[in-house]
Amino acid sequence: MTAAAETLSFQAEVGKLLDIVAHALYSNKEIFLRELVSNASDACDKLRLQGLTDPRLLEGGAEFRISLRPDKASRQLTISDNGIGMNREDLVANLGTIAKSGTAEFLSRLSGDAKKDAGLIGQFGVGFYSSYMVASKVVVESRKAGETEGWRWTSDGQGSFVIEPVEIAARGTSITLHLRDGQDEFLEPVRLRHIVKTYSDHIAVPVVLIEEGKEETVNSASALWTRAKSEISDEQYKEFYHHVGHAFDEPWMTIHYRAEGALEYTGLLFVPTMRPFDLFNQERKSRVKLYVKRVFISDDGHELLPSWLRFLKGVVDSSDLPLNISREMLQHNPVLAKMRSGLVKRVLSDLKKRAEEEPEQYLAFWSNFGAVLKEGLYEEPERKEEMLDLVRFAVTGEEGPISLARYVETMKEGQDAIYTLTGDSIEALKRSPQIEGFTAKGVKVLLLTDPIDEFWVRSVHDYQGKPFKSVAEAGADLSKLAAKEGEEPAKEEDSGAKGQLEALIALMKKVLEASVKDVRRSDRLTESAVCLVAGEGDMSLHLERMLRAHKQMEATPSRILEVNPTHPLILKLAAGAEGEDAQERLGGRIRLLLDQARIQEGDPLPDPHDFAKRLAAVMIES
């Protein structure tokens, strides 16, 4: 017994999407065909893969094809495939809700301005739903491979669709578009041929145009990556990138090569120009597609590329893996591991070449994906040689980001470490009291603001034998470094002043005993009176703050408060630091100094109320 026709509502988001699509003043309506042909080709890929383990699914033929049938009399265009097909459940789920990430992204970017939003349709593509740009009614008939029942889905794209059982002779999907007035160009063979050539030439399944009984294959129908580089135009690479990566920008870099010898595979990989919106989501997974002898195997759960190269899109086609490779076999597979290592090497060396040849363009890449690439420094420190050539940093006293090679070139005499400071923003770091002394001596400091920076500087250790060293760690090497040329070395204070300073420091230690680990005289400060630093070997202040923000750390471990011996405020306090009642007189001010250092470091004050009270008291006195 078969069920009767049923009317179902679209998910609210689909309703909204369809409304926009139907009224879009978008000039590039032809992209609907790219989307439908792309879906048809995916459906063939899916069945080809499932047919490997269940050959019965391929009954009726394993020759895949996509056909386009324009009918001028009825003003209908039908796109058919003999791929996996959809049953009732699939139709309801796939064509009644939003399945694809690109479509969700499209919706999230809507501005309400019809013109701008129409442009987004082309940028993100809205899959199947784009058919409503040219059609007032769409009928989908489908029979799933391995099943006997066929289903018809019909909708005018306004709130609901009808689903009903129908007799369908063979597996696969046919999509019939009832064209809107004025869209007859999509019935013209010349036009259809041109659209397929432009957007879908790389599709590995033949796209056949059928008119008046005549059949003509209009695409090249061979997987793009199997063709010779010299036979592929930039335009074709770009269309393939859009198809394979669900992307809508230009590829920033295209890597296409064949590995031969012990291991045989072809890689066709793209680096995007724009940063995809999901780059930093939890999964951190590479979505590069794995093919075996031109059969699509997986775009998920394999270990073909490390997560720190997850911005890459594209395909890798292996000749060495078995076709019936299972999901489990994709984990920890030695062939895959070797391919991975070859691919990583190639990508890194191509990036390096690009960095050398086109440094400006490389900076654009770096600003999009540098933070991801740096994860590799932490996860695979054994690759540090290759990786450290690729990293770029904001540095004090330099305009744009620079390489480590350049940093080393500009190191001062006597400087044997690469100094770093981590924090939330470049602007805040540039004003940090921690770097005052370095700036005064003309020593450059790397300003690190990506969360991953905290971690790799520890695991990587050095570049060309020069250790990375945080300026926030106490005991900085400033005293060893020569002063800026032409500058007087700092004068030693006389013994009286020295004694006063020692008394002040001793007093500060006493007053702040419960709040800091130590109080020290500073070599690094030139303008600020005080600053907080981490002890040698302790966690950096920034890391500590991050961990506390994520509730990974409870109490604040004590830090070191450094005191600028030449600052007028310190000199004044030191002058009164001796005597019985010093603690009573200066205690409040000393606490204020600590709070000031905390504020400069971007730390919250433990007791803002107390701070305000003390500040008011000092202001009244003066």
The CB-of-48 to ligand ADP minimum distance in angstroms stands at 13
84/253 with CB nearer ligand ADP: 84
Number of Cβ within 10 Å of residue 67's Cβ equals 19
The CB-of-273 to ligand ADP minimum distance in angstroms stands at 21
Distances, alpha carbon 279 to alpha carbons 268, 270, 274, 288, 372, in Å? 20, 15, 11, 14, 8
Number of Cβ within 10 Å of residue 484's Cβ equals 12
The CB-of-35 to ligand ADP minimum distance in angstroms stands at 6
The residue assigned the tokens 């602007």 is: 427
Task: Answer yes or no whether residue 590 interacts with ligand ADP by CB under 6 A.
Answer: no
Please give the size of the binding site for ligand ADP, defined by CB under 6 A: 16
Coil, strand or helix: which one is 449? coil
> In 54-100, which ranges are continuous DSSP H helix?
88-94
* Cα 142 from Cα 151, distance rounded (Å): 5
Task: Answer yes or no whether residue 86 interacts with ligand ADP by CB under 6 A.
Answer: yes
The CB-of-43 to ligand ADP minimum distance in angstroms stands at 3
Q: Which stretch binds ligand ADP (CB under 6 A): 22-30, 39-47, 272-280, 568-576?
A: 39-47
67/254 with CB nearer ligand ADP: 67
In the list 17, 24, 43, 471, the residue contacting ligand ADP (rule: CB under 6 A) is: 43
Structure token pair of residue 304 = 């073909």
* Cα 372 from Cα 220, distance rounded (Å): 36
Strands 418-422 and 445-448, by their bridges, are parallel
149/518 with CB nearer ligand ADP: 149
* Cα 322 from Cα 300, distance rounded (Å): 18
The CB-of-60 to ligand ADP minimum distance in angstroms stands at 15
127/272 with CB nearer ligand ADP: 127
Task: Answer yes or no whether residue 267 interacts with ligand ADP by CB under 6 A.
Answer: no
> In 95-170, which ranges are continuous DSSP H helix?
101-109, 114-124
In the list 51, 70, 83, 376, the residue contacting ligand ADP (rule: CB under 6 A) is: 83
Distances, alpha carbon 575 to alpha carbons 497, 579, 589, in Å? 8, 10, 14
246/441 with CB nearer ligand ADP: 246
Task: Answer yes or no whether residue 490 interacts with ligand ADP by CB under 6 A.
Answer: no
Binding marks (x or -) toward ligand ADP, 102..141, rule CB under 6 A?
A: -------------------------xxx------------
Contact of 219 with 207, CB cutoff 8 Å = yes
The CB-of-360 to ligand ADP minimum distance in angstroms stands at 35
151/252 with CB nearer ligand ADP: 151
Residues 6+ apart with CB under 8 A from 108: none
Residue nearest to ligand ADP (CB): 127
The CB-of-91 to ligand ADP minimum distance in angstroms stands at 8
The residue assigned the tokens 């995916």 is: 42
75/100 with CB nearer ligand ADP: 100
Measured at the CA of 190, the angle between CA 185 and CA 191, to 5 degrees, comes to 40
In the list 52, 99, 417, 605, the residue contacting ligand ADP (rule: CB under 6 A) is: 99
* Cα 334 from Cα 323, distance rounded (Å): 16
> In 23-113, which ranges are continuous DSSP H helix?
31-53, 88-94, 101-109
Residue 372 belongs to what H/E stretch? helix 359-379
39/318 with CB nearer ligand ADP: 39
Residue 407 belongs to what H/E stretch? helix 404-409
Cα within 13 Å of Cα(555), Cβ side = 6
In the list 24, 34, 39, 139, the residue contacting ligand ADP (rule: CB under 6 A) is: 39
Amino acid at 331: Q
The CB-of-140 to ligand ADP minimum distance in angstroms stands at 8
170/618 with CB nearer ligand ADP: 170
The CB-of-295 to ligand ADP minimum distance in angstroms stands at 18
270/419 with CB nearer ligand ADP: 270
Residues 6+ apart with CB under 8 A from 504: 563, 570, 573, 574, 577
168/570 with CB nearer ligand ADP: 168
CA 65 to chain centre: 36
Q: Which stretch binds ligand ADP (CB under 6 A): 78-86, 208-216, 402-410, 491-499?
A: 78-86
Coil, strand or helix: which one is 445? strand
> In 473-577, which ranges are continuous DSSP H helix?
495-511, 541-549, 568-575
35/473 with CB nearer ligand ADP: 35
The CB-of-68 to ligand ADP minimum distance in angstroms stands at 13
The CB-of-50 to ligand ADP minimum distance in angstroms stands at 12
Residue 316 belongs to what H/E stretch? strand 313-318
Q: Which stretch binds ligand ADP (CB under 6 A): 81-89, 207-215, 369-377, 397-405?
A: 81-89
DSSP 262-277: SS-EEEEEEEESS--T
The CB-of-85 to ligand ADP minimum distance in angstroms stands at 6
The CB-of-372 to ligand ADP minimum distance in angstroms stands at 24
Task: Answer yes or no whether residue 173 interacts with ligand ADP by CB under 6 A.
Answer: yes
17/476 with CB nearer ligand ADP: 17
In the list 67, 82, 94, 200, the residue contacting ligand ADP (rule: CB under 6 A) is: 94
* Cα 41 from Cα 289, distance rounded (Å): 14
CA 248 to chain centre: 15
In the list 58, 64, 77, 81, the residue contacting ligand ADP (rule: CB under 6 A) is: 81
Task: Answer yes or no whether residue 31 interacts with ligand ADP by CB under 6 A.
Answer: no
- Catalog residues that contact ligand ADP under the rule CB under 6 A: 35, 39-40, 43, 81, 83-86, 94, 99-100, 127-129, 173
